[in-house]
Amino acid sequence: MTEVNASDGSWVQTLSGGSYGFNDQFGNTFDGSHVWITNNSGTSVTEVNADDGSLDRVLSASGFGINGPAGITPAGQHMWVVNENGNSVTAIQR
C-alpha cells in the first residue's frame, strides 16, 4: 500500500511486509482515523493508523468469521465486511 501527499501527489511511504498481512488486497475504506484493507486471499482485514501508517491489528478468519473479504465500509461503531467466499457479512467492533 502506497501513501501519497494529497496536496501535491508526492510519495510519502510504502507499507509492505508480512506484519501487515497484505495478501491480494481487494477493498479499503477510511473511518476518520484508520485505513481498513481487506485481504481477499489472506482471509483477513488489516487496520492501519492513518496518521503514521503504523499497524494497529490484523483480524484473521479464525477469530472473526472472515472468508474471502472483498468489500468493507464503516457504519456506526462497526466495520462491515462482505465475505465473497463465505456468502456472509462480518461486523467488526471498531
Write out the three cell numbers for 3. Answer: 501513501
Q: Per-block average pLDDT, block size 10, for the chain (94 residues)?
A: 93 90 93 95 94 94 88 96 92 91
**Terminal CA-to-CA distance of the chain, rounded, Å?**
21
Query: Residue 84: what pLDDT?
Result: 93
Output the pTM of the full model.
Answer: 0.90
Query: Residue 51: what pLDDT?
Result: 94
Question: Which residue range is the domain that position 86 belongs to?
Answer: 25-93
Using DSSP's 3-state secondary structure scheme, residue 30 falls into strand
Which secondary-structure segment (H or E) carries 40? none
**Does residue 9 lie within any of the structural domains?**
no
Residues 6+ apart with CB under 8 A from 23: 39, 40, 41, 42, 44
**Does residue 56 lie within any of the structural domains?**
yes
**Does residue 80 lie within any of the structural domains?**
yes
Query: Residue 91: what pLDDT?
Result: 94
How many domains are contained in the chain?
1
**Does residue 11 lie within any of the structural domains?**
no
**Does residue 84 lie within any of the structural domains?**
yes
**Does residue 19 lie within any of the structural domains?**
no
Query: Residue 79: what pLDDT?
Result: 96
Provide the CATH number for the domain around residue 29: 2.40.10.480
